[in-house]
Structure 1
Amino acid sequence: MVALAAPAQAAGASAAFTKTSEWDSGFGGQWTITNTGTSTVNGWNLSWDFPSGTTVGALWNGVLTRSGNSYTVTNESWNGTLAPGQSTTVGFSGSGTGNPTNCRINGASCDGGNGGQPGAPGAPGALVPGTVTNNSIAISWAPASGDVTEYEVLRNGSVVATTTARNHVSSGLSANTSYTFTVRAKGPGGTGPASEPLTVRTTGGQQPDPVGDLVNVGYFTEWGVYGRNYHVKNIVSSGSASKLTHINYAFGNVQNGRCTIGDSYAAYDKAYTAAQSVDGVADTWDQPLRGNFNQLKKLKEMHPHIKVVWSFGGWTWSGGFGQAMQNPQAFAKSCYDLVNDPRWEGVFDGIDLDWEYPNACGLTCDNSGRDSFRRMMQAFRAEFGDQLVTAAITADASSGGKIDAADYAGGSRYADYLHVMTYDFFGAWAAQGPTAPHSPLNAYPGIPQAGFNTHEAIQKLKAQGVPAKKLTLGIGFYGRGWTGVTQSAPGGSATGPAPGTYEQGIEDYKVLKQTCPATGTIAGTAYAHCGNNWWSYDTPQTVAGKMNYAKQQGLGGAMFWELSGDTSNGELITAISNGLR
């Protein structure tokens, strides 16, 4: 991380810029806006200039306007209110090599020009772990910019030390326990923003089994490292790594009858700084493997109980399965060779096939025949041997629906798990409604479509001969919503999809729990009516109920889409883990 501007107090707010990553033609940039005053900040306005040749591309967590080389960002509706000490971030992808100048936050200069008052220090540099024992962890860090008098060390969010040095040893810790550290610099101008977190596990003891003999499978999206700014390190810093059993890396593509790389830069080329890396060690220009794959490899070294599976297809890239199944053995061989490529040896433990949907319509329609799923799973088991072979499958239990269209029972004989996508039953693709929970556990009076619920999907799959222990119950870490809704209860009319951060009609749980808290539950899931928007999503409480159902049904565990939708402390994954015990 390259700190470029010490934040300055400005009407109770400060702003600091960092380059989170750099490549030949551009960089990832992040502004951190902090309330350094003693009263709540209601709305913020950030502006700066870039030199000619340096521009902003995609930006998230703010509203961007541009005039020539000058940029202005104002807050979104959900991140404009900052309590004293609270921070929010704005990220973007930039092209060029320049740095920002003439930064102003709420009308005052970001470089110390605030009526002669000194600015608060910047964020300390990357935290680096030192000696780790059963009951102590040593850390050190690079200096913060600006006028620094001392540093505050926080462990799991609480201040545990104040020091003028740039190192600290925490003692009296528990064995085999993860601790998350941040550091803040203090100076005459106030307290600066916290460093990037570092999570370290003490030695000793035994690695706890997250959920006994059940599985907790989470999808990690390849593209999440861009706009979502979600990286493998976040799995550790959120505490989620100790609660997962499997990570499904999504997605590889299926093209011309073969498995292919989705985004090679994100997968194995993107360079990580020490602050961004799982183990606090920066990538070098000449190391053979970088990107998500190297970060996952480091994660597995820290948490050897986790299995990593490469998932292929998904909604957008399922169109190639039909062609690939014209020669299932060649298809399986191409996938085996890619998953087990020597360049990323040790990263993957198998393959997940996300075909949406065999012999049915998804984004595209397929007519490869009812036995195509069975033939695919048989070919992949023959090729992958004792490596994991799993599949994400439909939950459409309607009469003559997608479950009926394929031989899932036959395919299950060759699978370790079938992950049932028991979500996205309803959403604002039906723009006028009726409003309905997108992941109902069971049917209810007035449900828009018969057979569109978790219970009926599980029962139909079991009745067809799929062993319960090979089924996992799917959880969405997001909500689906409509706007133009006046009725609080489900079944109301709407005028279209509700606004979302990345896409209309869909929003992460971590955002919805703040902006539109749940107002009721139906069919084992939550819904929320706020203003003229109506959302449905799972909460820790409804997840607990669904995990109880999974255990009652003898299922193999749970699967969820996807990790970046959870809170920074992993509320939903914790609810899954606790519920499966």
Structure 2
Amino acid sequence: MSKLRWHHAAALVATSAAVVLGLAVAPAAGAGGVSATFSKGSDWGTGYEGKYTIKNGGTTARTSWTIEFDLPAGHKLSGLWDGSYTASGQRVTVKNTWNGSIAPGASVSFGFNVGYSGAFTAPTGCKLDGGSCDATGEPPTTTPPTTPPTTTPPTTNPPAPDGKISLGYFAQWGVYGRNYHVKNIVTSGSASKLTHINYAFGNVTNGQCVLGDTYADYDRAYTAADSVDGVADTWDTGALRGSFGQLRKLKKQFPHIKVLFSFGGWTWSGGFGQAAQNAAAFADSCYKLVEDPRWADVFDGIDIDWEYPNACGLTCDSSGFSSFKTLSQALRTRFGQDYLVTAAITADGSNGGKIDAADYGGAAQFLNWYNVMTYDYFGAFNAKGPTAPHSPLTSYDGIPQQGFNSDAAIQKLKSKGVPASKLLLGIGFYGRGWTGVTQSAPGGSATGAAPATYEAGIEDYKVLKSKCPVTGTVAGTAYAHCGSEWWSYDTPATIGGKMTYTKNQGLGGAFFWELSGDTTNGELITALRGGLN
């Protein structure tokens, strides 16, 4: 299965020789049968993003599909997502992965990148299950039975047919005090709703990627009761334990899930500046760590969470405007086209803010997508307030800082040339709060951070929904005033609104921080996944 999902976005082109930007040409009429239609997205002069959409216009559900097509001379496939492929010369054959099921009237798609010399020419010779890609009527008799095999994992709410990404972070340290393990992803029902998991975090020191907690990562032994598959870990030579071992078992049960190893984060971003000074050596160290033979099958790529290039987070970086692009290019070069390479980035949409400090537009060509951290705009790190929602979708009258909202960040990134399909909207599965607050509406004064389970001023949704129920909404998110405490957090309802925004903006999907903040039955991820469908 190809590991790549390298998006560019969205002008469409006809399957014939005539190119019509902004439009997709419908397949030839064929009595409402099954069809496959090519469209072209971004074209950067030496390559383009393509997509085939398979539509079931018949009356029988499909359970699999195979698409074949020819690339013109001088054109070469550089990666493909939402399908597995083989290439023989210029002929490409693509088979479904998780997206084989197509109900009558529904459609699925796969995307790919092509590099070319000379001029763009659309693929030719399209075949769908050996027949024409024009509407062909009912599925061929060779279509497998519609009853899924007994080994198919539960798919209560599977990934959306249009390929929208639903990505969740798994926090390495959650296996300790939070007692949240990979098995909880299954028992909460979250596994069937995720397309990707970011394992957070690896560290960045001395210009290299290194493990952050070897015990949690690969050494902790899980009992049968706590293991994803009900089988206890062993101490046999070569046995993989810890969260890595559990993620391996998770992927076996839910093969549609891709896992990325995320490096950095708020605490461990201080080493990126040094890493950028010798980006090739850094990328090589990351590749060797992610692809360590002991767990190479666990990870499908790498995520970089640099907070923040050429700006200040926990520490300040002065490596320059181009350093992030340099690092991104080195990672893509080392990992190649068949791995996911992504980045979690600032959502500071203010003029002259953190997005303006680094070349996010230039770096996007090397990355599959950006996790735009559209949360933590406001909080009790300003102890006296004013109270404000930490994850506003839009601006509102009285917002403490212009540009500190999700839409401002998304529009700024788009203006820098980042394709919408490479942007994931960030959702916090937690809230931020103050104490000493008398005013229910946003904008009140406070005396400090509200008490909480692990860290003052920040609390999981699963706690807040009962501890301090919502009393109002503002700017597409919720807030709650209970006693002297004031909290802001997203609920299933506000997440639904944010997912509508995500679809309306043509974004690639959404992600969240992090899995353990949700309820034991996955209220928030259910709303997120359902909103993307």
Q: 2:157·2:530 contact (CA, 8 Å) conserved in 1?
A: no
What does residue 187 of structure 2 align with?
237
What does residue 160 of structure 2 align with?
211
SS at match of 1:344: coil
Q: Name the CA shift for 1:463/1:434 in 2 (closer, same or farther; >3 Å).
A: same
Identity among equivalent pairs (%)? 72
Q: Name the CA shift for 1:530/1:202 in 2 (closer, same or farther; >3 Å).
A: farther
What does residue 203 of structure 2 align with?
253
Residue 270 of structure 1 aligns to which amino acid in structure 2?
Answer: R
What does residue 406 of structure 2 align with?
454
What does residue 492 of structure 2 align with?
540
2:266 counterpart (302, 307, 315): 315
Residue 256 of structure 1 aligns to which amino acid in structure 2?
Answer: N
Q: Report deviation, 1:284.
A: 1.5
Which structure has the highest strand share of the two? 1
Q: Report deviation, 1:399.
A: 1.1
Counterpart CA distance in 1 for 2:464 and 2:147 is 36
Q: Name the CA shift for 1:279/1:465 in 2 (closer, same or farther; >3 Å).
A: same
Q: Name the CA shift for 1:380/1:203 in 2 (closer, same or farther; >3 Å).
A: closer
Counterpart CA distance in 1 for 2:147 and 2:196 is 24
Q: 1:176·1:205 contact (CA, 8 Å) conserved in 2?
A: no
Q: 1:435·1:492 contact (CA, 8 Å) conserved in 2?
A: yes
Residue 450 of structure 2 aligns to which amino acid in structure 1?
Answer: A
Counterpart CA distance in 1 for 2:412 and 2:277 is 28
Q: Give the TM-score of the pair, scaled to structure 2.
A: 0.71
1:222 counterpart (141, 153, 172): 172
Counterpart CA distance in 1 for 2:440 and 2:362 is 43
Q: 1:381·1:414 contact (CA, 8 Å) conserved in 2?
A: yes
Runs of 5+ consecutive residues of structure 1 not aligned to the other structure: 1-173, 178-200
1:339 counterpart (277, 283, 290): 290
Q: 1:175·1:205 contact (CA, 8 Å) conserved in 2?
A: no
Counterpart CA distance in 1 for 2:264 and 2:494 is 29
- Cα-Cα RMSD: 1.6
1:466 counterpart (408, 411, 418): 418
Number of positions where the alignment pairs a residue of Structure 1 with one of Structure 2: 385
Counterpart CA distance in 1 for 2:438 and 2:317 is 39
Q: Report deviation, 1:202.
A: 6.6
1:296 counterpart (244, 247, 257): 247
1:330 counterpart (261, 276, 281): 281
What does residue 305 of structure 1 align with?
256
Matched, 1:580 2:532: yes
Q: Report deviation, 1:207.
A: 9.1
Q: Report deviation, 1:210.
A: 1.4
Q: Name the CA shift for 1:319/1:205 in 2 (closer, same or farther; >3 Å).
A: closer
Matched, 1:482 2:423: no
Q: Report deviation, 1:208.
A: 6.6
> What's the CA shift string for 1:299-325, capped at 9, x where partnerless?
000000000000000000000000111
What does residue 388 of structure 1 align with?
340
SS at match of 2:356: coil
Q: 2:276·2:324 contact (CA, 8 Å) conserved in 1?
A: no
Q: Report deviation, 1:211.
A: 2.1
Q: 1:257·1:320 contact (CA, 8 Å) conserved in 2?
A: yes
1:352-501 equivalence runs, <5 A: 352-385=303-336, 386-501=338-453
What does residue 41 of structure 2 align with?
none
Task: Indicate the structure (1 or 2) with the bigger Cα radius of gyration.
Answer: 1
Q: Give structure 1 regions of 4+ aligned residues with deviation exceeding 3 angstroms.
A: 174-177, 201-209
> What's the CA shift string for 1:56-85, capped at 9, x where partnerless?
xxxxxxxxxxxxxxxxxxxxxxxxxxxxxx
Q: Name the CA shift for 1:336/1:522 in 2 (closer, same or farther; >3 Å).
A: same
Counterpart CA distance in 2 for 1:358 and 1:344 is 29
> What's the CA shift string for 1:72-118, capped at 9, x where partnerless?
xxxxxxxxxxxxxxxxxxxxxxxxxxxxxxxxxxxxxxxxxxxxxxx
Q: 1:232·1:299 contact (CA, 8 Å) conserved in 2?
A: yes
Q: 2:153·2:254 contact (CA, 8 Å) conserved in 1?
A: no
Q: Report deviation, 1:280.
A: 0.4
Q: Report deviation, 1:345.
A: 2.4
What does residue 570 of structure 1 align with?
522
What does residue 223 of structure 2 align with?
273
SS at match of 2:204: strand
Q: Report deviation, 1:286.
A: 1.9
> What's the CA shift string for 1:251-283, capped at 9, x where partnerless?
000000000000000000000000000000011
Counterpart CA distance in 2 for 1:203 and 1:331 is 39
Counterpart CA distance in 2 for 1:415 and 1:292 is 26
2:504 counterpart (527, 545, 552): 552
> What's the CA shift string for 1:390-421, capped at 9, x where partnerless?
00000001111000000101110000010000
Q: 1:217·1:559 contact (CA, 8 Å) conserved in 2?
A: yes
Residue 325 of structure 2 aligns to which amino acid in structure 1?
Answer: R
Q: 1:176·1:204 contact (CA, 8 Å) conserved in 2?
A: no
What does residue 59 of structure 1 align with?
none
Q: 1:267·1:292 contact (CA, 8 Å) conserved in 2?
A: yes
Q: 1:254·1:313 contact (CA, 8 Å) conserved in 2?
A: yes
Q: Name the CA shift for 1:206/1:475 in 2 (closer, same or farther; >3 Å).
A: closer
Runs of 5+ consecutive residues of structure 2 not aligned to the other structure: 1-145
Q: Name the CA shift for 1:292/1:176 in 2 (closer, same or farther; >3 Å).
A: farther
Counterpart CA distance in 2 for 1:202 and 1:495 is 56
Q: Give the TM-score of the pair, scaled to structure 1.
A: 0.65
Counterpart CA distance in 1 for 2:233 and 2:154 is 30
> What's the CA shift string for 1:194-250, capped at 9, x where partnerless?
xxxxxxx87599897412211001000110000000000000000000000000000
